[in-house]
Structure 1
Amino acid sequence: MSLRTGSSLAALSRRLPRDDADELTWLLFHQEDVLSLDQARRHLSPKAIRHRVATGRWRQVHRAVFVAHNGPVSAGQRRWTAVLAAGPQAVLGGLTAAQSGGLRGFSDRPVHLLLPASSRRGSLPPGVLLHRTATLTDRDVLAVGQPRRTMPSRSIVDAAQWASGDQEARAIVAAAFQQRLVAADDLHQIVNRLPRVRRRQLILATATDAAGGSHSLPELAFLGLIRRAVLPEPTRQKIRYDSTGRRRYLDAYFEEWGVHVEIDGGQHVDPRAWWADMSRQNGLWVAGDRLLRFPAWAVRAHSNEVLTQLGGALKAAGWQGQPNP
């Protein structure tokens, strides 16, 4: 057992209620110290509830929702507050549901809720966005875990269609594949079941490319450049082994011609990360391979130069084609 794992288990055991704890204590444990007024009334009198709020033991964070402490409200507690305020039919949806399932790299605000079109809802706290849907079946909702949320594939499709722009939608889909939260056909199945998905073609195309190995926006942009220029399509995220035998993944590899392209993201601003990456490449390459590296900003701002250099490397390696201008 690692030190981190041991520490996490110890922290959990300190928070875990005793076996003889009352029902209210267990409820607060399962709901991250958040409960609705109706839930509180099942265990306490109105006077006892008012006393807890007046003495600062509880905070009223919404009209009918309480947090059983007076400190900062966590992201998890904001999600519970939103679900309890909206009513029993509400589930976490979109980006919020995906983050509850492990998606990283995006803001946790606002909280997104999904509710069947015919269901009534309660008043919502600030910072909560409610979305209605005519299609929300049992297979769309995760059977375990609290608060209730949509399944990963449904969450990613909804997050992409609710995104503020196409760029953010692509980033969400690509990140879901990169972080292994969804598989190749998952998003296609969801889109085919939902008749009115916004950005349908963008989601499907991005999912297809991401499943093929393009796991970031710069990699997707690079793939778009290749296709517009009618260059050969590379293998993406191809597995190679370095001189120490460690498995490595190549961003784009034109295998027939031995040309490899790496797209460098923002992590290469750090000299230590840059050297680690260069060292990794030095251990990968054998005689005859060509390596081109482009920073992500160059793919966007200097696409013609990127294509010229890539076309030159392919032709030098024996490619007989001619890139489109």
Structure 2
Amino acid sequence: MHRTTTLTDRDVLAVGQPRRTMPARSIVDGAQWAGDDQQARAIVAAGFQQRIVAGDDLHLVVERLPRVRRRQLILATAADAAGGAHSLAELDFLGLIRRAGLPEPNRQKVRCDSTGRRRYLDAYFEQWGVHVEIDGGQHLDPRAWWADMRRQNDLWMVGDRVLRFPAWVIRAHPDEALRQILGALRAAGWSG
């Protein structure tokens, strides 16, 4: 159990019982009380991924609180998550390409597949037609795997390049992932 001495009316849900904090405040509290930085980042990213919060929701909460533990981490993670990095692996990927000096891709780019359904591309280097998909464990289910392949085939048919990485490769073998991303970007005309 955690207690707080700073709880404004904006932080408390006005309906229902028991009284509870608003989602953005709950996420900030969860992140600052998390056991480590990775867990804190995961809490923030999950809030955006599940569309519990959006935009500047967490920034507004942090501005109201005088002593937020992990303030910079929460704000940086919220900015990246609001921009479309919705998992730890996607946040790690974003850090990897920034450290390497690569151009920043669009994140969670919306496109319609061949059946007309809206799909979200994890990372899309639009100028070069290079997609990077970062797959968590749910992608191992045969139906999910086939859906991924079908979407990938749709992208290949229009001439784009698609790179897929399991989340653990981004964390455990970032140099290998980076070599492949660099190779795809260069093959597509990037000269950086």
TM-score range relative to shorter protein: over 0.9
Structure 2 equivalent of residue 185 of structure 1: 56
Match runs of 1:38-53 below 5 Å: none
* Offset at residue 247 of structure 1 (A): 1.2
Verify the 8 A CA contact 1:235 1:252 in the aligned structure 2. yes
Q: Is residue 201 from structure 1 mapped to residue 72 from structure 2 by the alignment?
A: yes
Counterpart pick for 1:166 among 37, 44, 58: 37
Structure having greater relative contact order (Cα 8 Å, sep ≥ 6): 2
Q: What stretches of structure 1 of length at least 5 have no aligned partner?
A: 1-128
TM-score by length of 2: 0.96
What is the letter of the counterpart of residue 299 of structure 1?
I
* Offset at residue 138 of structure 1 (A): 1.4
* Offset at residue 224 of structure 1 (A): 0.6
Verify the 8 A CA contact 1:259 1:313 in the aligned structure 2. yes
TM-score by length of 1: 0.58
Question: How far apart in 2 are the matches of 1:246 and 1:272?
Answer: 16
What is the letter of the counterpart of residue 301 of structure 1?
A
* Paired residue total: 192
Question: How far apart in 1 are the matches of 2:18 and 2:151?
Answer: 42
Verify the 8 A CA contact 1:218 1:263 in the aligned structure 2. yes
* Offset at residue 139 of structure 1 (A): 1.5
Runs of 4 or more, structure 1, over 4 Å off, are none
Question: How far apart in 1 are the matches of 2:17 and 2:155?
Answer: 45
Verify the 8 A CA contact 2:31 2:39 in the aligned structure 1. yes
3-state DSSP class of the match of 1:133?
coil
Verify the 8 A CA contact 1:243 1:284 in the aligned structure 2. no
Question: How far apart in 1 are the matches of 2:28 and 2:141?
Answer: 34
TM-superposition CA deviations, 1:171-209 (whole Å, max 9, x none): 111110111111211100111111110000110001000
Match runs of 1:15-94 below 5 Å: none
Q: What stretches of structure 2 of length at least 5 have no aligned partner?
A: none
Counterpart pick for 1:262 among 108, 126, 133: 133
Question: How far apart in 1 are the matches of 2:14 and 2:99?
Answer: 43
Tell me the C-alpha RMSD between the 2 structures: 1.1
Verify the 8 A CA contact 1:244 1:283 in the aligned structure 2. no
Question: How far apart in 2 are the matches of 1:275 and 1:159?
Answer: 36
Counterpart pick for 2:185 among 314, 317, 322: 314
Question: How far apart in 2 are the matches of 1:132 and 1:267?
Answer: 36
Verify the 8 A CA contact 2:28 2:62 in the aligned structure 1. yes
Larger fraction in helix: 2
TM-superposition CA deviations, 1:129-183 (whole Å, max 9, x none): 1x23231111211000211101111111000000111111111111101111112
Q: Is residue 227 from structure 1 mapped to residue 95 from structure 2 by the alignment?
A: no
Q: Percent of aligned positions with the same letter in both sequences?
A: 80
Question: How far apart in 1 are the matches of 2:118 and 2:82?
Answer: 19
* Offset at residue 296 of structure 1 (A): 0.5
Greater mean deviation of Cα atoms: 237-246 or 279-288: 279-288
